[in-house]
Amino acid sequence: MLYRFIHFIIRRPIIGLVTSLGTALILSIIPSIFFRFPDFRDPKMGFEARGTNLANRLRAYHLLVESTWPSGSLTSNPVEDEAPNNIVYSQVEPWRTNFLGVKSNESSNEKLDHIVPLSSEDLEYPPVEELEKNPYQGFGAHHKNVNWTAIMKLGRDEEHIVNQRMKNKKPENENEVNPHYQNKKEYSEKHHHDYFCGPPSSDYSHVVLSSTNGSDLLSLGSVLAGCQIQEYLTSLAEYKSLCQTKGNGQILDCCPIWSLPNYIAQLNKKESCFDITEEDIHNTKKLLQTCASDFAKTKNEYHDCEMEYLSPCQQNCTVYNILHFITEKTYLFPPKNDPQLRNAIVFLPLAKSSALLDYYKTIVSGKLEKDHVRITAMDFGLKEILFDDLLLHDTWLIAAGSGSIIMFIYLYTSSMFLTGIIILTISQSLGVSYFFYTCVFNIRFFPFMNILAIIVALGIGSDDAFIVLNTWYNISKEASNTSSIDIYHDVLKHASIAIFVTCVTTVAAFLTSIDSKITAVACFSIFASTTVVVNFFLIVLMLPSAIILSERMSTIAMFNLESLLSVYVDHFISAFTNAVFRLKYFWLVILSVITAISAVIVLYNPTLKLPDTAEFQLFTNEHLFEQYDFKYKNMFFFESFEMPEGQDDFSYKMPLRFVFGVLPEDNGDRLNPASNGEMVLDSSFEASSAKSQVWLLNFCKKIRAQSFYQSTQGPLLSNCFIEPLIEWMKMKCFDPVDNRNKYPCCEKYAFPYPRRVFNTCIVRVTNSLYKTPSSFFTRGIAGPKFSKAHNDPKSDSKKSKPKMKAVVIEYDSNVPYSSSYVKMKEFYAQVESWFKEELKSAPPGLQNGFFLSELNFYDLQDALQDDTVNSIIISMVVALIVLMISLMNPVLAILAIVTISSIIFVSIATLVLLGWKLNVLESVAICLVIGLSVDYSLHYVLNYKMAPDKSRRKPRVEYAIKMMSGPSMMAGLTTATAGAFMLPSSVLGYVQIGTFLIIMISVSWIYANFFLLPLLLVVGPVHEFSQFHYPAWLVNIFSCNYSQENSTHIESETTSVTNERPSYIRESCELDVINCKHVINTPPLSSRN
């Protein structure tokens, strides 16, 4: 087969090249015809765990939620199976605002936020000496400067009013109301249209203002600087066409900005924030400090703070809006003597959308700082849109990197023709791989991470090309009396075996991640592995034909690299060899110490930490959008679940969800995040039996007795459906009020109920709960889920009735939400182990239940940690096996593995010191380190093994240096330079690709040359020590000998190839890995001209 291929390309090199290139082009074009080009507008897609126990449970739960939608197969209330009574997805979003008593989606858009101005009456009342002694405890020293008699008097005057209001009554005498309330009400009615358009909202675009010199933002200079920044933001041309407006008729003005200066101005009756005085700021600070405790303690009042007869702290949500939306949460929490505001948010009346892209670009092109106040972060809802925009904008960096690669390849070959063919081979390896990925493997999802395969194509492709070229030039130069068929056979055989071994080891390293629980990582593993395999075949098929054509065309180089750099190259190789030989022990000690330190960094401290936020970073750290997500976002109450230390009472508590009736199975496409699969109901589910009823009742009681349970105020009607059912069944069978017979759902039956009674009454109870006022019953996912029926269960019994298909029991835990892997792991393990123990006593119809909570991020962290560790271990084992098979020398294999392990440790340690965390992209980068670190070390070991003089270590190492110093240097420079061109990008992915390329190539080259070679000089095997051999029959198959008759026949049909070769070519040759008898002898290093 090999001879026939050589015979063909010698006779028809053009046909061979055009056929290979044409086939590759056609395969690259086919996906663009039948499939859309990859869309990276959602670069975070696929960055979730899939296939883990938790992931299966979470997916099954969300499918259960979707099944209760109007178009779903289940319903929460079968009696009124209509769209208004079905659960909407937003009601079961994990981001519940159960802290600070804030209710989302109130009718805030239909109301105006009435701002009540701050007057002297608010803080100055006639003194009441008996109330001045100790009016406030434990909130800092600032209480000494507040007229607490006024505050206490407000509380005393209002006490009766509050009590009346709690009884849904108005005061018996309207005149009893403190006069300042009436004044405020009149002012509010008169001026509320001049203020803000409702309260702030996270749906509006907002920017963060920070003090650059550490001064207080609640100082006059800072407030005025904030006003100037507001004026700049509203003066831009795009602003008026995008802003939310107010007004009547044809006169529409932009709504005011929600900002600290504007709130201060309105509280103090100032027309503009530029009119604010020191006294206004002082009064506002006193109000905020006075009301801070009320903000924290009476949080339940804030959901309806536009009611009349509220205290100044609660009037119109002014204080609430400032403390909840505008100021950072550490400003007054925990209490401090002299609070200083360092960061504040400004909300713009601009809805987050892609329409803001031009406005954003205009903002960042101007000056973002006034005096000592600066815009330090933004959230315009543009992160993904801008990423997609910059991804295309920064392609010039990729083009520049590609240009550098072309330059290095040309300098090495001095042939534009060969340079072009090599570039086409590298680029087409990506195109053909995409064909197999989409059309053959039928994978519909192409994650952003797959772009990293460019690294694979560059690193592997350029290195393989250099090896083939050097093998060709060296063999053809040395074999002056050898026939052309011998030359081509030796070149293709030696080069293909060398690059095949690296191909196998690299593919094996990548394929260890194919079973990754993270979709994006698994997809990258497949695409990168395919790229390596395709690159191998394209190099073998295209480059030999291109070399033959280049020889026959007698291409003349524009300039001769050897003539320009020969002296420098000779000096470099001589100095490099001396450095390796004379300083071998120095390099071994230094690099061994670095490896040991790196191992400590990676394995012990600080280690490659797991991500501490669910946000995925798209841009560099300095970008305004990333500054908001990763630095400032959690500084404000309205954005964060994790509270400052000591403020856990206000944190979002992890829910306890126990699901029965649904199997935690994921039958969707694991490699497609959009494929959710179908919900699998538990056919054995049975909640109506007597044993099931008793167990469910006891189970709910046991939950509330656990240490992780959080007691919740008020009735819990939907949390455990069995308890409302029992209360319901205590009713009289005949209701004289409405003259209705409630049989069988009445006191006639005792718990546990007969199956038929249970199935009938649970439907009626559920319908009754859905008619309960929202103050006592909030619709959610908790409770029973029924199959849909088009009849009332109270009607004709012969008709089909809804059947209970699933049950969700839900309570709150006392564990606050945290992005800490350790804390969430402890919480999950505690509840999971308890629930498994409880399931042991469950009846058969309930034994398939499962527990889950808001553990999506924890599941991702756990999958990242497990997959990365497993990938490293499996890759090293596979690499050792491949090296053992290819080298047949355990000593050389172990030395190579030690070097590869050192490269991995040092590379990962460098990334750790640079602040990288084990996120999805970093996990892929580690996979790349493992795959690409094998290359240089493997080639050096192969050349050491195949050195002609096997009696001593020194000549064997000299031979390896001569064979690989040129290709390794050129391949390293090519890849590292391409990486350097990526560093100026704003896209984090490009920057990380460039950083990773430089680190990985540098470490690999240094350790292959200054660690592995000294190791071979010191402990490398000599003669045939530890050298095993392949069986004779296998050696004969791959033997270089061939029939002289076949040789003569083929040679007679081919033209001889000139033996004159350009003098600029580096002498290097990848020799046969298998015990081939045909070995090319090359002159020793000392004889090199």
Pick left, alpha or beta for residue 1012 (phi over 0 → left; psi -120 to 50 → alpha; otherwise beta): alpha
Nearest to 256 by CA among 313, 307, 192: 192
Q: What is the DSSP letter of 482?
A: S
Span between the terminal Cα atoms of the chain, in Å: 38
Distance CA(1010)–CA(1004), nearest Å, equals 10
**Whole-prediction pTM:** 0.76
Helix (H) or strand (E) holding 1086: none
Q: Which residues of 272-291 are buried (b: 16+ CB within 10 A; e: fewer)?
A: ebeebeeebbebbbbbbbbb
Nearest to 118 by CA among 282, 275, 274: 282
CB neighbour list of residue 448: distance below 8 Å, 6 or more residues apart: 40, 43, 520, 989
Distance CA(227)–CA(229), nearest Å, equals 5
Residue 447, classified by CB atoms within 10 Å of its CB into exposed (0-12), middle (13-18) or buried (19+), is buried
Q: Give the phi and the psi of residue 313 in degrees, each rounded to 5.
A: -70, -20
CA dihedral angle for residue 588, residue 868, residue 499, residue 965, rounded to 10 degrees: -30
Nearest to 1000 by CA among 939, 941, 932: 932
Res 188: pLDDT: 44
Nearest to 843 by CA among 688, 974, 964, 1010: 688
Question: Residue 892: what residue type?
Answer: L
How are strands ordered across the β-sheet holding 850-852?
74-75, 783-787, 804-816, 653-660, 850-852
Q: What is the DSSP letter of 325?
A: I
Quickly list H helices, 604-669: 624-627
- Return the structure tokens found at 776: 């006592």
Q: How many helices (H) and strands (E) does the chain have?
A: 34, 13
- Return the structure tokens found at 879: 């690499």
Distance CA(462)–CA(535), nearest Å, equals 10
Pairing of strands 804-816, 653-660: antiparallel
- pLDDT < 50 positions in the chain: 82-193, 300-301, 303, 309, 555-559, 643-649, 774-778, 791-798, 1040-1089
Q: Give the phi and the psi of residue 370 in degrees, each rounded to 5.
A: -125, 120
Length of the chain in residues, anyone?
A: 1089
> DSSP secondary structure string, 572-583?
HHHHHHHHHHHT
CA distances to 33, 426, 439, 456, 547 from 19, rounded to whole Å, are: 21, 17, 21, 25, 16
Nearest to 428 by CA among 32, 31, 972, 26: 26
CA distances to 70, 71, 674 from 66, rounded to whole Å, are: 9, 9, 14
Chain segment 438-449, per-residue pLDDT in tens: 999 999 999 988
Residue bearing tokens 């505690």: 830
Q: Give the phi and the psi of residue 258 in degrees, each rounded to 5.
A: -85, 105
Structural contact between residues 562 and 1063, judged by C-beta atoms closer than 8 angstroms:
yes
Domains observed in the chain: 2-37+391-605+861-1052 (1.20.1640.10), 56-80+653-816+818-853 (no CATH), 107-381 (no CATH)
> DSSP secondary structure string, 81-142?
-SGGGSPPGGGG-S----STTPPTT-GGGGS---PPPP-HHHH-----GGGSSS---SS-GG
Res 304: pLDDT: 52
Chain segment 1007-1056, per-residue pLDDT in tens: 999 999 999 999 999 988 888 887 877 666 655 444 444 444 444 444 44
Nearest to 813 by CA among 802, 801, 826: 826
Distance CA(269)–CA(280), nearest Å, equals 9
> CA 199, 201, 207, 210 torsion: positive or negative?
positive
CA distances to 227, 584, 599, 895, 940 from 963, rounded to whole Å, are: 69, 19, 32, 19, 8
Distance CA(927)–CA(922), nearest Å, equals 9
Nearest to 721 by CA among 805, 657, 783: 783
Structural contact between residues 577 and 958, judged by C-beta atoms closer than 8 angstroms:
yes
Chain segment 617-669, per-residue pLDDT in tens: 889 889 999 999 989 988 898 886 554 444 444 567 899 999 999 999 999 99
Distance CA(623)–CA(651), nearest Å, equals 29
Supply angle C-alpha 1021, 1022, 1028, rounded to 5. Answer: 70
Structural contact between residues 718 and 780, judged by C-beta atoms closer than 8 angstroms:
yes
3-state helix, strand, coil in the chain (%, to 5): 55, 5, 35
Distance of CA 1034 to the CA centre of its chain: 48
Chain segment 467-500, per-residue pLDDT in tens: 888 778 777 766 665 566 677 677 777 777 778 8
* DSSP β-bridge partners for residue 653: 816
Q: What is the DSSP letter of 286?
A: H
